[in-house]
Structure 1
Amino acid sequence: MKSITDVQAKCESSLPTLRKGSKGDDVKLLQEILNSYGYSLKVDGDFGPLTEDAVKKFQKSHGLKVDGIVGPKTWNALLPDDPRSYPTLRRGSTGHYVRLLQQSLNEFLTDALVIDGIFGPKTEAAVKKFQKSYGLVVDGIVGPKTWNAIFSMFN
């Protein structure tokens, strides 16, 4: 099995390159993640000057090329590389980890989930389907074992 860092890199490579002018759910995910690092961005899905400035500050503080562009290296620095550090998610959870979960599950599903950061009934059903196919306890709760299986899916 590849290292968890290799798996994370594959997961991150599926995230789009974002820059000033980008719009949409992936920008919202980026803004939520940056806010978890202490930035105070409006999560509006619009990669404007404030988001660009936060990205540049993050890049500088993590020894990355400071260009304001969020590509694989910046995504890698933004997202933890150990699924044990990911929070337990269940119906009612919200935020960037739910978005990451939804995006990851879309690699597995035939009917794609809306990536909205809200762990509702459709996300729960997708988690249960995933858990069943990977021989996990089918409870709809995403804890360390389910996160590990999600990461292993990218091998």
Structure 2
Amino acid sequence: MSRAALAPDASWPTLRQGHRGRNVTTLQALLRSHGYALDVDGVFGQGTLSKVRAFQANRGLAVDGVVGPNTWTAATPATVARRGTKGWRATAANSQVGIASSTFGASSESAWRSLQRSLGLTADGVCGRESLRSALLR
């Protein structure tokens, strides 16, 4: 993947210790998809902080424990999930549409199409980097 494809976009949300909610759940699931063992509970506590710092260090990013554009861009694959995706990437995508599942199935695809339409995006039902970024910011 080229460096240009990984250029961070300044409009990602910022997460840090103390934050809670679906965006934290998404972050935690993405970290799990990269092999970092942590609870996916929607709470940015000490355990998540430790894994964020380790992820940042392993990717050559500033190690500050704050999840901003550089960390999100490094953690988010070009295609997060599409129908048939299983595992932590599916969990990350599903957390944004209120589905508690590690499988990205027909209901996930339908929910993402609806969300994409509401965000003014192409409604293809695939959770890609841009769709996820827009969902995180809503």
Shorter chain as denominator, the TM-score bin is: 0.5 to 0.7
Query: For residues 100-115 of structure 1, what are the structure 2 equivalents within 5 Å?
Result: 100=93, 114-115=97-98
- Counterpart of 2:62 in structure 1 is 65
C-alpha separation between the residues in 1 aligned to 2:129 and 2:35? 27
Count of residues paired in the alignment: 125
Choose 1 or 2 for highest CA Rg: 1
- Counterpart of 1:47 in structure 2 is 44
Q: CA contact under 8 A between 2:26 and 2:95: conserved in structure 1?
A: no
Tell me by how many angstroms 1:79 deviates: 1.4
Deviations 1:49-86 (A, max 9, x none): 11001111111111111100000011111112x44xx5
- Counterpart of 1:22 in structure 2 is 19
1:150 to 1:44, Cα distance in 2 relative to 1, 3 A:
closer
1:38 and 2:23 aligned: no
Which consecutive residues of structure 1, in runs of 5 or more, have no partner in the other structure? 104-113
1:99 to 1:21, Cα distance in 2 relative to 1, 3 A:
same
**Sequence identity of aligned pairs in percent?**
37
- Counterpart of 2:110 in structure 1 is 125
Q: Secondary structure at the match of 1:32?
A: helix
C-alpha separation between the residues in 1 aligned to 2:91 and 2:73? 17
C-alpha separation between the residues in 2 aligned to 1:53 and 1:63? 16
1:55 to 1:97, Cα distance in 2 relative to 1, 3 A:
same
1:115 to 1:66, Cα distance in 2 relative to 1, 3 A:
same
Tell me by how many angstroms 1:123 deviates: 3.5
CA RMSD of aligned residues (A): 4.0
C-alpha separation between the residues in 2 aligned to 1:55 and 1:135? 31
Q: CA contact under 8 A between 1:18 and 1:27: conserved in structure 2?
A: yes
C-alpha separation between the residues in 2 aligned to 1:9 and 1:30? 16
- Give the alignment's TM-score, normalised by structure 2: 0.63
Deviations 1:9-38 (A, max 9, x none): 45xx55421100010111111111111222
Q: Which amino acid aligns with 1:124?
A: E
- Give the alignment's TM-score, normalised by structure 1: 0.57
Which consecutive residues of structure 2, in runs of 5 or more, have no partner in the other structure? 133-138
